A and B are shown apart, each in its own frame.
Chain A
Amino acid sequence: SQKIEQNSEALNIQEGKTATLTCNYTNYSPAYLQWYRQDPGRGPVFLLLIRENEKEKRKERLKVTFDTTLKQSLFHITASQPADSATYLCATHTGTASKLTFGTGTRLQVTL
């Protein structure tokens, strides 16, 4: 069955450093992959979408890569700030159905 995994351990980094979060998937080939941010008690907020034929996508301080050979996406936040502290979710879509399959998320904590 389709499986999508994110590191369940929290990631703690210092302000100004680059945070890198990992998303791995198995047993399927998603047409595209999305990253969302979720703050406690709130709904997810869309950040970036990358398609299977794209290697990299950037938006301001955010960068996403998509390696279909490794079946992995990396999500980078450069020059991280305490306001970036949140849980980051990756989600995949197979292209034949509209439902998203989410990972469990990785909590990022940026400290001063």
Chain B
Amino acid sequence: NAGVMQNPRHLVRRRGQEARLRCSPMKGHSHVYWYRQLPEEGLKFMVYLQKENIIDESGMPKERFSAEFPKEGPSILRIQQVVRGDSAAYFCASSPASGVDEQYFGPGTRLTVT
């Protein structure tokens, strides 16, 4: 019974490149959340998705960031033209239902922009 899977675990990108972060939710979970954790800061919500739908993207920067959760395959968080300030740990979480249940987190992807 695999938990939430994220890959890659570590990602190094040069300024201006694109970063693609992948998340496979727990089996049976159809709700996916992305959070970002900057050094010495708390987890900040970015986006909430269900299959083929973005439900809440109020935490996503307006430019360069996008997310999707296709009918088949993992959820993808895409960061275009990365800058040094994008360096952070990005966590994906999933839940079987909306709102009420606890969220199950993956191990995170640590993005370093050089």
Contacts and interface: CB of A to CB of B under 8 A. Distances in A.
Interface in B40-64: 40-45, 48, 55-56, 58-59
A35 B64 CA distance: 32
Contacts, number: 59
Contact of A44 (B91, B95, B100): B91
B69 interface: no
Contact of B43 (A41, A46, A49, A102): A102
A99 B41 CA distance: 17
Interface of B: 4, 31, 33, 35, 40-45, 48, 55-56, 58-59, 91, 93, 95, 98-100, 102-108
19 contacts: A41-B108, A42-B108, A43-B91, A43-B93, A43-B107, A44-B91, A46-B103, A46-B105, A91-B43, A97-B48, A97-B56, A97-B99, A98-B48, A99-B33, A99-B45, A99-B58, A99-B59, A100-B43, A105-B42
